[in-house]
A and B are shown apart, each in its own frame.
Chain A
Amino acid sequence: MTVELLSGNEALARGAYEAGVTAAFGYPGTPSTEILEYVAAHFRDAIYGEWSPNEKVAFEAAAGAAYTGARTLCTMKHVGLNVAADPLMTMAYTGTVGGFVAIVADDPGMHSSQNEQDTRRYAAFARIPCFEPADSQDAADVMRAAYAVSEQHRTPVIVRTTTRVSHSRSRVVLRDREPAPLPVGFVKDPARFVPIPLWARPMRVRVEERYAALRTAAEQSPLNRIEWRDRKLGIIAPGIAYQYVREVFPEYSTLKLGFTHPYPDALLREFAAGCAEVLVVEELDPLVEEHCRVLGLAVRGRDLVSGIGELSPLRLREVRARWEGAAFAAPQPIAAAADLPGRPPVLCPGCPHRGVFAALAQHDVVVTGDIGCYSLGVLPPLARMDTILCMGGGVSLAHGMDKAGEPKPVVGIVGDSTFFHSGITGLLNIAYNRGKATIIVVDNRTTGMTGHQDNPGTGRTLLGEPSPAVRIEDVARACGIRRVVTLNPYDLTATSRILAEELAADEPSLLVSVAPCVLKVRQRVGPVRTVAAAACKKCRACLKIGCPAIESADAGQPPRINPELCNGCGLCAKVCRFSAIIETEVRS
């Protein structure tokens, strides 16, 4: 028996491999990214894997693969499923041939996301099965079960993971790979694959018939199990909530839910009948709780457990105290930590995005931002971004503000991967509808925030194969943008001048700021800089660019440049009016 310490995401990938998956598609997004990375790193001989440009494309490509009979995987974060909701809702009608599992990673607590949304709602919306693993072993087990259910009932399946499942590591017993059960070969059957009204109406009926059969499957699944202990209290706990419940309510009965939709009615009834009192502990929305009420079961839940943010053992300790009617004082940070400075994430030393924000700071404009590392440009001291909505939103919002008559010039900022994801259609809209917003693509030649995934601009695929590196400038021209400028973000003077020219133009412009992510290339941009204390006037202009390598704990002293952090981009030297920031002689 081989046991490995795997993260939840690695275990999900392992489970897909063991289930005989042969094709995998996805778009990176925390906390889902490592699933496909692990597939590519460990199972490339058995599984074709790709980063698609966005989640909708990934979902559709995966649907095509599954229609041929291949066992197929699709991965994304929770907000990615919003992008892929269109194919999801109709694939729920057409169903699948080969097993189809979409792993969707929710981020309760918003560690690295713009909202909290509960993907289980989509499973209920589409009337398809949903599984929720509670740790890494569960993740691998759930995947094998999910493929069996998908093929038996010809339905797409959602596996909902959460940050604490995806990014926790625990033991996984490795199993052999099952052979893929079906041969690959599309069998023509328009009544099954073409939802024109003639055929969609009977499909609608079959969705309901399937839903009833799936409920029975959930009731019989070993992934849903009652653990009888003290029956004074019974707790229903899906996903990671089960682990916290076992820590904090170890003596009470538990209904562990791993196959959570359709709800296993018979099991819920049996459990409720056997307990004096029933509590539902679930992260985010009270779906199981509401369903218990529909069944006429008396349960407690949201009155004791908040749906805002993520659960933790400490939060359940508080829930327990309230249930018992006892007082509870949560351990607080110590008094000596009361006045500590915050340490939010920041753009890295030498990050090319910083030059663009420094240049924008010299102009009175509204900046509509987007999702990526450059979102950090919203934080002080740069604070040079005014809105963030969704992937690609920076481009379209800029156009809408412009058309509404916003008095200031409007600049949209989008990263290279986000541009390919959903910025292109927004740019097409600006050109087509005669807008005049200025769009900047901060092109660092990678998908930075999620940890350097390739994209259509990098010239490489997930599997490391060479592919055409799309030039953003060419795409912009093809969309009908005539003013297209490439700029070097480390050249502050030129960037600011180009910006002034393009803001003044009476037509749209696309600027491409090209410089690779310093975290990816792991090479200094130039020589390490140092502050010449004698020349420094302590004006603190260099501190306004928000570089973590420039340290100043005492405003009365010249700032210090930390040589271990400095990447030598020289931006600080360019904002210093006294030439007090100089190159160090020895490059370390």
Chain B
Amino acid sequence: MTATTSVVLAGVGGQGILLAGTIIARAALSAGFDAKTNEVHGMAQRGGSVIAQVRFGHAVNSPLVEEGTASVLGSLELIEALRFAHYLAPDGLAVVSTQRIIPVSVSSGKAAYPADAEARVRAAFPRLVLVDAIAEAHALEDVRTANVILLGAMAGGLAIPADAWREAITASVKPQFVERNLRAFARGQALCR
């Protein structure tokens, strides 16, 4: 019996975090694992902090990831990676996009966005892949694929074969977007090497 693998995705509502979680779970199922995901809907989606959680393995019970146990943490925003860093296992892999999204609490002067956020991320994660998923997505001429670029970069830390990823992406996006998302995933994988 293999141990259960846990993954946490973090970001800001609207960045495509939930879809990324579903793709991981579908890929795990294609690879023959049991899988469960959890996501947050409703009020929390309106521009707030969002996390999606995925667990896969021989047989999965809880859909929630226990703090300190995730094998991989992916984040599409710098400080959101820090906010959820304690979900990662001590030897876990962090894949973080360098994007800074300023919350309204900062813009309205009630709080400060740490100027050293990137340095904090570098210090917080011993195993870190830092990417600029937004710039990479612009380079692929579709900013909406930033989430799949992040997934590609995370894939190196997950024991899921390439054809399972391909199957999951194909099943999770509209037919006309499959090719560009497969390209985005490959771009993410290349960034991780």
Contacts and interface: CB of A to CB of B under 8 A. Distances in A.
Nearest to B109: A555
A434 interface: no
Nearest to B28: A5
Interface in B111-149: 111-115, 120, 123-124, 143
Interface string A335-363: 01101111111111000000000000000
Contacts of A332: 86
Contacts of B102: 551-553
Nearest to A347: B46
A5 B35 CA distance: 8
A330 B66 CA distance: 10
B108 A546 contact: yes
Interface stretch (B55-63, B158-166, B173-181): B55-63
Given A168-B36, A348-B47, A334 B85 contact: yes
A164 interface: yes
Nearest to B112: A341
Given A171-B35, A246-B61, A5 B25 contact: yes
Given A5-B26, A341-B111, A344-B48, A170 B43 contact: no
A112 B63 CA distance: 19
A170 B114 contact: no
B106 interface: yes
B79 interface: yes
B172 to A, nearest CB: 10
Contacts of B40: 111, 167
Contacts of B25: 5, 169
A16 interface: no
Interface in B78-96: 79-80, 82-83, 85-86
A307 B79 CA distance: 32
Contacts of A546: 104, 108
A373 interface: yes
B2 interface: no
A135 B35 contact: no
B100 to A, nearest CB: 8
B22 A345 contact: no
A337 B45 CA distance: 21
A400 interface: no
B29 A340 contact: no
Contacts of A548: 47, 103-104, 107
A246 B106 CA distance: 42
> Which secondary structure characterizes the binding site on chain A?
loop
Contact of B103 (A33, A112, A337, A341): A341
Contacts of A516: none
Interface in A93-130: 111-112
Given A167-B40, A339-B114, A380 B82 contact: no
Contacts of A169: 22, 25, 35-39, 63
A113 to B, nearest CB: 8
A172 to B, nearest CB: 11
A112 to B, nearest CB: 3
Contact of A247 (B49, B62, B67): B62
B26 A164 contact: no
A344 B105 contact: yes
Contacts of B110: 341, 380-381
A548 B74 CA distance: 23
Contact of A168 (B12, B38, B79, B107): B38
A522 to B, nearest CB: 12
A170 B66 contact: no
A369 to B, nearest CB: 14
A111 B44 contact: yes
Interface in A361-379: 373, 375-376
Contacts of A559: 107
Nearest to B46: A345
Interface stretch (A18-26, A177-185, A309-317): A309-317
A576 to B, nearest CB: 15
Given A559-B107, A564-B143, A336 B64 contact: no
A30 interface: yes
B139 to A, nearest CB: 15
Contacts of B44: 111-112, 345
A158 to B, nearest CB: 22
Contacts of A262: none
B45 A313 contact: no
A3 interface: yes
Nearest to A373: B46
A213 B99 CA distance: 61
Q: Which of B62, B103, B113, B124 has the most CB of A within 10 A?
A: B62
Contacts of B13: 345
A331 B70 CA distance: 12
Nearest to B108: A381
A543 B45 contact: no
B30 to A, nearest CB: 10
B191 to A, nearest CB: 21
Given A247-B61, A345-B47, A552-B106, A31 B36 contact: no
B42 to A, nearest CB: 3
B82 A336 contact: yes
Contact of A243 (B63, B104, B112): B63
A30 B43 contact: yes
Given A30-B43, A313-B62, A340-B82, A171 B34 contact: yes
A170 B105 contact: no
A244 interface: yes
Contacts of B115: 553
B193 interface: no
A135 B34 contact: no
A333 B83 CA distance: 7
Interface of B: 12-13, 22, 25-26, 29, 34-49, 60-64, 66-68, 79-80, 82-83, 85-86, 100, 102-115, 120, 123-124, 143
Interface of A: 3, 5, 30-31, 33-34, 111-112, 135, 164, 167-171, 242-244, 246-247, 312-314, 317, 330-334, 336-337, 339-348, 373, 375-376, 380-381, 449-451, 540, 543-544, 546-548, 550-553, 555, 559, 564
20 contacts: A167-B39, A169-B36, A169-B37, A170-B63, A317-B66, A334-B82, A337-B79, A337-B82, A339-B114, A340-B79, A341-B79, A342-B103, A343-B12, A345-B45, A381-B110, A548-B47, A548-B104, A552-B102, A553-B102, A564-B143
Given A164-B64, A167-B40, A331-B86, 18 more contacts: A3-B29, A112-B44, A164-B38, A164-B63, A167-B39, A170-B37, A243-B62, A332-B86, A334-B124, A341-B112, A345-B44, A345-B48, A346-B104, A380-B110, A381-B110, A540-B109, A548-B47, A553-B102
